[in-house]
Structure 1
């Protein structure tokens, strides 16, 4: 009964506070105080001070604002326009045509931004007008952008990966490497669906793009050199073992500033705007992380995670059963919370249960991020939905209907990841 009462108090407190519009970080702190007062005899003030210092004085956490700043800088460059121009000659003749630019462009930008919303907004502001002017069906153009935009969470460097790594005390380098193959798999699944849809709906497709000679194709590849160089600098340095995640983030910021300067988009105003944007986002995430850390301490003192792990261990659920239950749970949470909040709210509670059934925490991190990607396109609070609504002026539920196939592709990715865990762990085993 103790575990039920603690869980009920925690859930009700959180729901009431979030329903009143209280900031997520503040709601987490307040919920922790309630748990301390009702279910423990520990001094709240002493634990608060110790927890805040222990979780904020983290060198690993330094990578978070750096990667966010890198994405903010690139958001204000001509990178998306160059991506479209460089990729269009190579995909225009494929089944599905230029819709593949959404997938490949989002995949490439995800590898230098770390943010799903930034990836969707940056690629979408260029690709959607171009696709519309060429006569592409909105279901294909908008749906593929919404689905592909979620790659910003999975393809490293990912802000959510850093958050999970800090919360679960898992190597961020290992998470970054583990996200590469699943990210490529999702890109292949999205492009495969686009090709199939275009074959089944030929009447909705525009005429094939005019073929461009190989000389022009190769010439336009030069537009991709800045972003490819940045990817090599950030991900390559981690993969080769030359840099930690934090050091790679510093390389990324320097590279982003160089790209912006060479592209003549680095002005005083754009620099200040990128700096303030990164500061606001980092402060928001930092408050959520500290609130989650304090709530984790409160639950540890009350014994809730250990009790929950014991219940799950005694329930007879195997790995597949637990993953199925957690998937439904996370998707439901995604209807009301953003991805980062889902990760920090649940990590401390579910990790003991994950350990109890022998699930690799690196594999679980990749699984969790894919499920959080579902939350990005789940109404009513899917962040990618809001970004695309701002870009197109369409209603949330109209956009939702367009992205149902891509949501189901993410479900398929979870099934494949569960059936073949090596998708997430093989590359890690080869490199570390």
Structure 2
């Protein structure tokens, strides 16, 4: 049996990354490495019994129970074309400005993010809705693609957010506190993206032509046409914040309402679409649950072995300023976010990072918002940038280099936003406290 925390940590991490290099899924890799490392410490029979307990804990968790519901709600909303309704409203009010369609895309991403809670789903949906419109109006490919890829990241920041639910489960925080904390940073993100677009079109007017202003009749028509999306958003988010529903109840209500809208939306093969939605939801839920269970097992090993405390103590005693340590962690997250899926990047690092951040005296809710934002940045950062590749796969004749050039102004806006929330934590915590 091994009892040295440093040896246990080294063995566990080495085995974890070996499994990742062998292309074992992140959740399974964390679970296996946690079992093996814990087995080396206490024996494999106690380790296996721990697996059963941690798996049962995850599967009966109220927080994780919302994940399949939010995923299903987002898929149904996409099939019912609610995203198109949101985009039309934004376009009617601000689309006539120079760069207005790109601003409408950002607003549409924020609105759809409030329905689905997923960055990739928001990017894919808005690529179908907004990209053809911007191309038709003569927008430069860089601005069009950059606004979609960056705006897609709002899907994990604007509540309800699936990645916030995972964070709440793994760190034992109240998911409602995270949802509330995400409101102001989400609105700040929209504002800074709009400023970035304004700067681009001012410096290069040819990137976005001015369109004809729509009259109030057309605006009112678009607003009334979006009543379905507004109904879901008000019921789900409004119900949560007003205390009418718990998060789980709100997710259930959202599924029921979006399912009714799905049934009322004209489509050729409704049954086939429903099967596709259910399969997609089941596949995504299984993947996320596996990662949550694996992370829980690995985190349990780190806690029991004392390895996490040893690591935290060593770094905390290094003499580095706590903000320097935070910046180093954020740099690591940007790299991970560019390589891994956002949820994978978070669950892989939280067992190490969260105890360290708490030891440094930071607020766990504040760190959750910072964590989500920095992973969001990683999803549009070269060389991988998951949102970029989702958009690339859906946009014909759009080179990767064009998309990456287009996201540069939005990356600048992202770093400004992270800097503001690090300097002024009240932006994230004002509504919570």
TM-score class, shorter:
over 0.9
- Whether the 8 Å CA contact 1:40–1:302 is kept in 2: the answer is no
- Whether the 8 Å CA contact 2:147–2:407 is kept in 1: the answer is yes
- Alignment of 1:260 onto 2:262: yes
Partner SS, residue 315 of structure 1: coil
How far is 1:378 from its partner?
2.4
128 and 33 in structure 1: CA distance in 2 versus 1, 3 angstrom threshold: same
In 2, distance between residues paired with 1:84 and 1:329? 35
How far is 1:318 from its partner?
4.0
Aligned mate of 1:121, from 124, 128, 131: 124
In 1, distance between residues paired with 2:237 and 2:201? 34
**Aligned Cα RMSD in Å?**
1.9
- Ranges in structure 2 where 5+ consecutive residues have no aligned partner: none
Which residue does the alignment assign to 1:64?
Answer: 67
In 1, distance between residues paired with 2:207 and 2:102? 13
Deviation string 1:217-262 (CA, Å, 9 cap, x unpaired) is 1222112221111111011111111111111101111121122233
Which residue does the alignment assign to 1:29?
Answer: 31
- Ranges in structure 1 where 5+ consecutive residues have no aligned partner: none
Deviation string 1:371-410 (CA, Å, 9 cap, x unpaired) is 1101211234422122101111434444223212222222
Partner SS, residue 212 of structure 1: coil
Aligned mate of 2:432, from 420, 428, 432: 428
Q: How does 1:8-407 map to 2 (within 5 A)?
A: 8-41=10-43, 43-206=46-209, 208-265=210-267, 267-393=270-396, 394-407=398-411
- Whether the 8 Å CA contact 2:6–2:307 is kept in 1: the answer is no
In 2, distance between residues paired with 1:366 and 1:35? 31
Partner SS, residue 335 of structure 1: helix
Deviation string 1:274-303 (CA, Å, 9 cap, x unpaired) is 111111100110011111111111212221
How far is 1:370 from its partner?
0.1
How far is 1:33 from its partner?
2.8
Partner SS, residue 98 of structure 1: helix
In 1, distance between residues paired with 2:222 and 2:312? 55
Which residue does the alignment assign to 2:422?
Answer: 418
In 2, distance between residues paired with 1:295 and 1:40? 14
How far is 1:202 from its partner?
1.1
Aligned residues: 428
- Whether the 8 Å CA contact 2:142–2:402 is kept in 1: the answer is no
More displaced stretch, 277-286 vs 316-325: 316-325
How far is 1:151 from its partner?
0.1
